[in-house]
Structure 1
Amino acid sequence: MPSLFSKKKDSEQEVTQSGASASSTQAPPPAYTDDATPPTYKATSYLSSLREGDPNDKVDVPMIHSTHKLSFGDYLPWGSAMKTGKRTVISRSMTRDCYIKHYAKDEYGNYIGTERPYPDHQLVFVPNKSTPDDILKQLDEFVDVRHDIRRLHDKKELKHIPN
C-alpha cells in the first residue's frame, strides 16, 4: 500500500516536469531600450490631475498630518516638547485655483505654484517621497512656523524659527 507521501512526491514531479516544459517554451523578456517611457503611476497622475480642470472645482489635496498628545513632560524645561507623534495622510479640500496658486508640486516634490506659497505648502504629500525617511525629511523642511507648546496656552503665540 503506497503512503500519502509517495503520492505527493509523484504529483510534485509531474508538476515540476510540466512546469519545466512550460517555462522552456516561454518567450524571453523584452529588451531594454533607452527611449522606453517609464510606467505611469496612479498617485503621480492624481497629483497632475489636480492642476487640470475648472479653477472653481473643489479638489482633495493629500497632506501630511502630525498629532502630538500632550503630557506632563511637555511643560517641563527638560521635557519632551516639540516631539511629533503619529503621522497620517489626510485629504484637505480646497479650490483648484487655490491649489495651483499656493500648493502645487511636481512629482519630485518641487514647488511649481504660480504665486507665493502658503506657509504650510511643505505638508502636501508627494507620493515619490513615501518612505518614512523621506516623509521625515519633508516635515523637517517645514520649519518656518512652529507652535511652541510651552507658550501655547497662555499667549497663543507662534514661534518663528530662522533657517
Structure 2
Amino acid sequence: MLITGLLLIIVINPILTYANKTTHNNLTVFHNKTLDPTLLTKLDQATELLKASELYNPDLHLDICLNDGSKYPKLIRAIRGQAFAWGFYNKVVLQGNANYNENYVELNGYKWNLTQLLAHEMTHCLQFDKLGFWKSKPIANIPNWKWEGYAEYVSRQNTDQKDLSKI
C-alpha cells in the first residue's frame, strides 16, 4: 500500500524526478537537459491541431514530460508498457528519442512525426478532461479503435481531411 501511494505521488508530480520545468502557454515542460526552443514550436503546432477538436479546452493545463534522462518515462513505461509516448490525465510522456529539428521521435528503429505524436497524446488528455476518470481508458471499456481512432483523427489533420460528420 505504501509503495502504491508513493508511485501515485510520483506519477501525479513528475517534478520529483526532473531537474527543470519550463512553462509555455498552458504547458509545463519537465526536462533534465537544456530545453531546445524548437520543441516549443512543435508544442504550439500540436496545440493548433487540438483546436479543431470539440473536446478542446483552452484552459486545460498539460504537463509534458521529456525522455532526457529522468526516471519518470521509465516509471511510466513500467506501469503502462512500451510506446512512443503516453497521454493520460493531464500528462504527456515521451518515451522514444526525440529529434526536434527533424520533427520525429524514434523508438526501436521506427520514427513517428513529433508534432502529430504530441497532438495524439494531448488528445487523450482532452478525452480524460471531458469524460473524467471513470469514463476514460483504461478504466472504461472503450474500444481501442474509438479511443485511439479519435486521437489519430485529431492529430493527422490536413487540408484534404473531411469532417467526420460529412462522411
Normalising by the residue count of structure 2, what TM-score does the alignment of the two structures yield?
0.26
Q: Which has the higher strand share?
A: 2
Q: Which has the higher helix share?
A: 2
Normalising by the residue count of structure 1, what TM-score does the alignment of the two structures yield?
0.27
